[in-house]
Structures are given as C-alpha cells and as structure tokens.
Amino acid sequence: MRRAPDSLPALLAEAFATFREGILLLDADDGVLAFNPAFEQAWDLLGVPLVRSLTFSENLEAAAALGRASAETWLALRRGATGAFLVPMPGGAVLRVAEYPMASGGRLVSCSDVTAERQRELALVESEYRYRLLVETITEGVIVLDRDHRVVFANPRFVSWFGGSDMALLGRALEDLVRDESRAGLAPLFGGGEPRSVEAALACPGGRFVLISAAPLKGASGRRSGHFAIITDVTELRAASERLRQSEERFRGIIETTPFGILTLDADGRVRTVNPAFLAITGAEEAAFAGADPADWLPEARPALADLFAAAETGAARGESRLRRAADLGHARIVLSRMGGAGDAWLLIVEDATEARQMEETLRHTAKLALLGEMSASLAHEISQPLNIIRLAAESALLSLDDGDAATIRGKFETIGAQSDRLRETIDYMQAFSRRDGGTRKSFDTVAAVGAAVALMTPQCSSLGISVAFAPPDRPVPVVGHPRQLEQVLVNLLRNAVDAIVERRAADPVRPGRIEVTLGEEIGRDRRPWVRIEVTDTGTGVRPEDLPHLFEPFFTRKTEGLGTGLGLSISLDLVAAMGGRIEAENLASGGCRFRATLPRAEAPPEDAAPPPAVPDDAGDAPAMTILVADDEPLATAEIKRFLERGGHRVVTVGSGRAARAALEAEHVDILVTDLSMPDGDGFQLIAETAAEYPHVAIVVVTGQPLRDREALADLEGGVDAVLRKPVSLRELAATLKGLA
C-alpha cells in the first residue's frame, strides 16, 4: 500500500537529504543557505569545513588560501564558466559542477562525483589515440574493406603510394587497385578460415610489389562485415633478390664456362661441388666427386695439400701439383682460399698447366742447348787438350819402340789411358748437360760442382785476359739436387761476368778483368746451415732500374743475337728447385756480385766415395768362351787380343744378326755387346739372348752410359754389367772375372 505524502515540503526535504547529487543553495548575495549530505561529502574532499557565515566564494577563497589547489580551480571556473565544469579534487576524484539561477535571485549549485565515468572515458580516448597513431605512422599500408572488397578506410601510407587523398581510394574495390596480372591471385585473401597472404603488384604510379595479408572483420551480429588488410611493400626486397638471382646466374655462367677447374670443399676439405671444366679435365663423372678427397686428383702437391689448407687460413694459398687428367698425369697450378658459404668452407681453383709446363721445359731445354753451343769453345779446348797429349804420347811410344825402351813405352801408354779418362769425363758432362731432366736428386759436393764450372770457363777467361780466382774449401760441402744443374748455374754466372767485363773494357781498357768465386757455409736466420756461393766481377754492374728484372725470362741487355735473356731465369729455377735463392747486387767499386744460397744437406755427398779400385790381377778368370759384338773392328780386335791373352776363347762379330748366328752355332759363356750396331740393335740382341740363352752372362759396353742405363733398366735384369766407353781393358777383365 502506498503511503500518502505528509506534505510537499516534507517530501522535498526528504528528497533533498537523500539525493545522490550534492546540492548547495545560495542566496542572492552568495551566502550559504543550505546543502545536502551529498554536497557535504564532496566538499569534505577539500579537507576544510564549509562555514555558513561566509559566502560560498569566501569559502572557496579560504580553502585556496589554505593551499587547496582544487578550490582555486573551482573558484576560477565558477567565475568564468557558463555551463557545467569539471573540478579535479584531491585524491584523484573529479567533480562535475553546475550552477543554476533560481527565481528567488539565489543560485543552486549541483555537484556529482564523475570520477569513474571520467576514467572510462579517458581510457577510451587513450586507446583510440594509440590505435590511430599506430595506423597512421606504421610503415605498412593498412586498409579496411567492406563485404564487396571496397575500401572503406586507407591509412596515410597506403594513400601515399597512390598519391592524392584517401577520397580517391574510398569505394574502390581492391581488385581495381592491383595490376591485371595480380588480380586472380587475390582470391585466397578472402577465403574463409585463417588469415592469408598473397603477393601482388599494385596499380599505383611507379608500380610496387606488395605482400597483402588480410583477416576477416566481424560485425556486432557476428556476421562477416569485411576485411582488415595489411600491405607490406616488398619492391626493394624483390629487387634485391632479383639482383641476387642475376648475379648468381652470372657467377654460375662464369663457373660453368671458365677453363679453370673450380671445386668447393666442406670444412673437412672434402669435395662438395665441382664445375664442368674440372669434369672435362679429369674425365670423371660428377658422382665420383661427392665427398671425395681432392688429393685423389691432385697427387704430389707442393706444398702438400695439408700445408696449403693451413696457409689458406690467412689468405689465398698457391701451390702446384701433379694433375690426374683423363688420359695422363699432367701438371696443375692450384689456389686455395677460405669461403664463407653455408656448407662450402673452401674454394679450390685448379689450372691445368700441363701444356704450359711442357713448353717451359722445351724452352729451358732449348736454352740449355744454346748455352751448350756457347760453351763449345771451352769444350773444344777440353777435348783437344787430352787428344793432343794422346797423340804426342802415341808418337813418342812409337819412336821408343825402336829403342826397345819398355819402361818409357809403358809410361806413354799409361798417359794415353789417363787422358782417355779425362775425355770420357768431358763427354759425360756434355751428355748430362743436354739431358732434359736432371735424373734423381742426390746429395753432392758443391765444391766439386763449382770447381768443374770454374775449370770449364777458365780457358776462355784466360784467352780474354780475365783472371778467375776460386779458393775451394778443403772439405766437401754437400747440398741436395743435381750437380750438373749447379754447374750450369755457375757457368751462366761466369759467362755473364765475362760479358760484363768485356763490355766494361771497351770503355775502360786499363781496368783489370777479374772474377772471384767464393764458396762458404753460414747459419741462416732459420738457424739452419746454408751454403753460399758468390761470383763477383769487375764488369759494368747492373743498371739500378734493371735489378728487379734480371731474373725474368727473356730479359737481356745484350746485343741482338748475343743474349737469350734466359740464363738467369734458368739459374733462378734451378736454384729454387734445390730449395735455394739467388740475388744480385751492385758493388760500390763497380761490377756486381751474384749470390746463390742453398740449404746445406745433412747427408755427405754420395759421389764423394772413390770408385772401387780395379784389382791388378784382373787377368786370371777361368777360361771361357766370350762373344764380342761391336761394329768397330779396331776396338773388337784389341779386346780379342787382350782376352785371348787371359786364356779365353773369343768370337768377334760386327752386327746383331751375326751375334745371334754365333750364339746359335756355339756354346757362349759371356756376351760383350755394344748397343748401337747395324742389323738389329743391342737392345734386341740382349732381350733375345736373355730369353733364349739364360745361361749367357751379358756385359754392355756403351758410349751413352747415362741415357742407356735408363733404357736398359726397362729390360728388367737381363744385363749383368754396364761398362762405358772408352772402356779400360783392366776394368773389363775384372768384370768378366766377377761373372765367371
């Protein structure tokens, strides 16, 4: 049942007291008439009492004077404001205050606490602001599409791509904003389910490649109302990847067409990839390379592959190697460097230098022959000297015959024998010198090699009035290599010294021509022993600007036809092959000095031991039948006479065919044969004899001992002994005795 109101004033008083908004009634002079509890509660936030005897403004002023900033704000707003205003109160509360004039002339002040609403509102503004900021400053394009894929919103970035304002874009379908070729590709964006991305070309000025990602938007009803799309500009990215693709293609082109073999290796040095050139060089299938060791194709690398890998840690490392080619074992130059690829740790470049190397060899050989020609003057001297002595000794022996002076005759013939040995040495030298390769390396005595070169050049120097001084050390100084090659180096240096002195003499005839050769040992900075050979001359010296070029092939300052420019280049090669170096310097006194430095060998010289002495009682081997095959009748007659004196039966023949007939006709114990004969050469005779008459011992007598020994080695043991011409009868007898 409804309670009847007691009276309106009572009702109003109750409403006044319980109203949630604060109410303050003021008289026409701003005096405080009444306020309800809600107002009192709001005012209490200021922490000062509301004094009835003061006007409301005076109350506010008093609170402001007590340091209440809120009261000061309230006062200021009250004076200036026409409608409602907000007053921030201590403690974070916010009051919404409004004043209304009343008919009585007084005023009604209402105030309500709007702190909660205010905070909600602020949060909303703030989050909206954040989103707006994001959408407007983001480097991606952002658009919102309606259900028909028409643009309803586009952010400034997206608008900037098309130019103009967003008005031009609004209402246009996304399909119209991309190029024709991209249109069909947009479909996945609008399929159901997960957000999707597609690539497209925008139909904007200048064109742009973009990645569009779209997600469906749902309206309040939960129905799909359109799409939200983010557009990323990938033009630069695409251009970069296109550039990468093109450069990759270019490099692939280079790698596939280059004549150099190119291999990539993994961190363990195993082959990962190999280019067509290397497949062609090696004649191998690509499959053979996967995980293979490059050493399988590059044996005997110098430096060794392991050292090359170590050296390549700090930069490209170069080396040389044998190269297993499709048909043969060639020669390669190799460069190894570190790589920074995924999986590819090393890059190995291989140049097939076989042909170049062969040409170099031929050139070097030609140069050697040219040098041999140049040396012929000295050689003629070397040959004519002993020949002269032989001739004189022979004639003197003949004269002595009439006197029956056996002792003199014996002496003469011994001289003839000794001079023949000297001739043999000269011939050996020429043979060794003209050979293509140096044979096996061995430890040899530099003192002997330098001495031989000095001896070879001395006659020529003497004839030009040039003195050559060489004081050899009194003990052997061994190095490893080829003695003839070191001789060749010294001959080159001496020849150059002679030429420089002769040239100098043209301008300065009184200056003495002198060449000094020294040979010494020293401890290098590596604390290892080195051998130092110097050739110092009193010639022209080298022009300072020529110094860096002296050792280049074909560099010559000599008159056309006189110099090849190869001498020093060959010398450098030969010395380098022995692990040494060679350098030149000008002397203050004029002339210059060439210095070759070689690593001293640990092992004593192999040829230092004297040849085994031939026993004097060589004659008394048991009697045998000996077949002597040689096309030089005078020589065979001498041998026959000598052997018959020793009690042997001797058959002599002048050709291979005759030798075979003799072998068939009678029992032969030993065959003594020359190698070059008419009618089937010695090699054939030896092979057949070894096969058909295995009991026959075979002794070869040859004028080309070095070359023939290698050829004979191919006959695999058929030969029992090799003697070189001119053969000594005592040596022959000792050999036969050994075979008996």
Residues of the shown chain interacting with ligand ADP in the complex, contacts defined by CB under 6 A: 492, 496-497, 500, 537, 539-542, 550, 555-558, 563-569, 592
Q: How far apart are the C-alpha atoms of 180 and 203, rounded to whole Å? A: 8
Long-range contacts of 605-608 (CB under 8 A, 24+ apart): 605/443, 605/444, 605/445, 605/448, 605/476, 605/478, 606/442, 606/443, 606/444, 607/442, 607/444, 607/445, 607/448, 607/483, 608/445, 608/476
Work out how close the CB of 549 gets to ligand ADP at its nearest, in angstroms, rounded to a whole number. Answer: 8
Q: How far is the CB of 480 from ligand ADP (least distance, A)?
A: 25
* Terminal-to-terminal C-alpha distance of the chain: 162
The least CB distance from residue 572 to ligand ADP, in Å, is 9
Nearer to ligand ADP, 592 or 686 (CB): 592
The nearest distance, CB 368 to ligand ADP, in angstroms, is 13
Identify whether the C-beta of residue 534 lies closer than 8 Å to the C-beta of residue 517: yes
539 neighbors 497 (Cβ within 8 angstroms): yes
Sign of CA dihedral 53, 58, 60, 64: negative
Select 558 or 595, whichever has its Cβ closest to ligand ADP: 558
CB of 285 to ligand ADP, least distance (A): 47
Query: Residue 591 or residue 718: which is nearer to ligand ADP going by CB?
Result: 591
Give the residue ranges of DSSP H helices in 186-275: 235-257
Give least dist CB 483 to ligand ADP, A: 21
How many C-alpha atoms does 60 have within 13 Å on its Cβ side? 19
C-beta closer to ligand ADP: residue 413 or 554: 554
Q: What is d(CA 174, CA 169) in angstroms, rounded to the nearest whole number?
A: 9
Looking at the Cβ atoms of 540 and 702, the one nearer to ligand ADP is 540
Which stretches does DSSP call E strand in 378-430?
A: none
- Closer to ligand ADP by CB, 496 or 702: give it: 496
CB of 563 to ligand ADP, least distance (A): 3
Closest separation between CB of residue 513 and ligand ADP, Å? Answer: 12
Q: Hunting for tokens 């030009």 — which residue is that?
A: 464
Q: Nearer Cβ to ligand ADP, position 70 or 569?
A: 569
Return the number of the residue (498 or 732) whose C-beta is nearest ligand ADP. 498
Both structure tokens of 201: 């070309």
Q: How far is the CB of 542 from ligand ADP (least distance, A)?
A: 5
Nearest to 41 by CA among 101, 89, 102: 89
Contacts of 175 (CB under 8 A, 6+ apart): 149, 183, 186
Question: In the bound complex, what is the minimum distance in angstroms from residue 674's beta carbon to ligand ADP?
Answer: 39
Helix, strand, coil shares, percent, the chain, to 5: 45, 25, 30
**Which residue number, 557 or 657, has a Cβ lying nearer to ligand ADP?**
557
For 270, the 3-state DSSP assignment is coil
| Token output for 17 | 């007291």
CA atoms within 13 A on the CB side of 6: 6
552 or 731: CB nearest ligand ADP:
552
Phi-psi region of 177 (alpha: psi -120 to 50; beta: other; left: phi over 0): alpha
- Closer residue to ligand ADP, CB minimum distance, 469 or 637: 469
Least distance CB 353 / ligand ADP (angstroms)? 23
Pick between residue 584 and residue 663 the one whose CB is nearest to ligand ADP: 584
The least distance separating ligand ADP from the CB of residue 709, rounded to whole angstroms, comes to: 32
CB of 494 to ligand ADP, least distance (A): 9
Minimum CB distance to ligand ADP, residue 305 (Å): 34
> Do 292 and 268 form a contact (C-beta atoms < 8 A)?
no
Supply the minimum distance, in Å, between the C-beta of residue 530 and ligand ADP.
Answer: 22
How many CB atoms are located within 10 Å of the residue 272 CB? Answer: 18
Cβ proximity to ligand ADP, 369 vs 623, nearer residue: 369
Residue among 78 and 558 whose Cβ is closer to ligand ADP: 558
| Tokens describing residue 394 | 């022979």
Residue whose structure tokens are 């002994």: 721
Phi-psi region of 210 (alpha: psi -120 to 50; beta: other; left: phi over 0): beta
Closer of 324 and 593 to ligand ADP (Cβ): 593
User: Residue 419 is inside which H or E element, if any?
Assistant: helix 406-434
Residues composing the chain: 740
How far apart CA 209 and CA 234 sit, in angstroms, is 5
> 137-149 burial by CB neighbour count: b if 16+ within 10 A, else e?
eeebbbbbbeeeb
CA 391 remoteness from chain centre: 65
Phi-psi region of 315 (alpha: psi -120 to 50; beta: other; left: phi over 0): left
